Amino acid sequence: MSGNKVDIKVVLLGKSYAGKTCLVERYLHERFNGETVPYQNTIGAAFGAKKVDVNGKKIVLGIWDTAGSERYESMSRIYYRNAKAAILCFDLTDKSSFDRIRFWIGELQTHEEACKIYICATKKDIIDADPNTRDVNEKEAQALAKDVMAELYETSSKTGENINELFMAIAQYYLETVKTTEVKEDMIYLNEVKKRLPCSCKST
């Protein structure tokens, strides 16, 4: 999939073992190997792309699944640079992964202001099966999401719950903002023409 064919760059960030790769696997290939294949941490980052249809418009999502290991953090900028959307993943059964989200929020707010943040809670199926395993309070997560004006999605890669919705929301949001920026671009274009006109008059 060539780079110029990608409309939206989406990056997944979060602690290792938060479930980023499984989320992408579910979305791109509609499969879940979490129970059959032993855990494999991502090396660097993996790229995948998917074409989605939003209100009759075809959009290509370019998805970067990054490694969660701490050693990649210093290099993570090359992965989230110019991303339109960031999915910050945390594991509902692991509080420390939720705390890590704040780091990424800070990182994005300083370096990548234009990037829209989506907070994604993973492994919901485990919580559904046994509510005692929940380690992250829903209210707390919602408060954080509200703070940074992000949307919160509770997902399960095993059942597929809320995953399409998450990516759909990203695509839709993008389309909306593109419309407005397109209009802006048009306006600028007109202004430029206006500006240029007197010049050409002068020269003639």
Pairing state between β 45-54 and 57-66: antiparallel
Whether residue 189 contacts residue 180, with contact meaning beta carbons closer than 8 Å, is answered with no
Residue 50 or 95 with smaller CB distance to other proteins: 50
Query: Could you tell me the smallest distance in angstroms from the CB atom of residue 165 to other proteins?
Result: 23
Query: Could you tell me the smallest distance in angstroms from the CB atom of residue 32 to other proteins?
Result: 13
Q: Is residue 63 within a helix (H) or strand (E), and if so which, with residue range?
A: strand 57-66
Hey, what are 74's tokens? 């210093």
Q: How far apart are CA 102 and CA 37, in angstroms?
A: 30
Residue 2 or 55 with smaller CB distance to other proteins: 2
Start-to-end CA span in the chain (Å): 49
Query: Could you tell me the smallest distance in angstroms from the CB atom of residue 16 to other proteins?
Result: 6
Task: Sort residue 84 into left (φ over 0), alpha (ψ -120 to 50) or beta.
Answer: alpha
Query: Could you tell me the smallest distance in angstroms from the CB atom of residue 64 to other proteins?
Result: 8
Residue 18 or 145 with smaller CB distance to other proteins: 18
Query: Could you tell me the smallest distance in angstroms from the CB atom of residue 67 to other proteins?
Result: 7
Residue 67 or 141 with smaller CB distance to other proteins: 67
DSSP SS3 for 90: strand
Query: Could you tell me the smallest distance in angstroms from the CB atom of residue 5 to other proteins?
Result: 9
DSSP SS3 for 44: coil
Residue 44 or 106 with smaller CB distance to other proteins: 44
Residue in 104, 32, 117, 40 with CA at minimum distance from that of residue 72? 104
Q: How far apart are CA 68 and CA 17, in angstroms?
A: 7
Q: Which spans of this chain sit near other proteins (rule: CB under 8 A)?
A: 1-4, 6, 16, 21, 24-25, 37, 40-48, 65, 67-72, 74-75, 78-79
Residue 24 or 127 with smaller CB distance to other proteins: 24
Residues pairing with 88 in the sheet: 13, 119
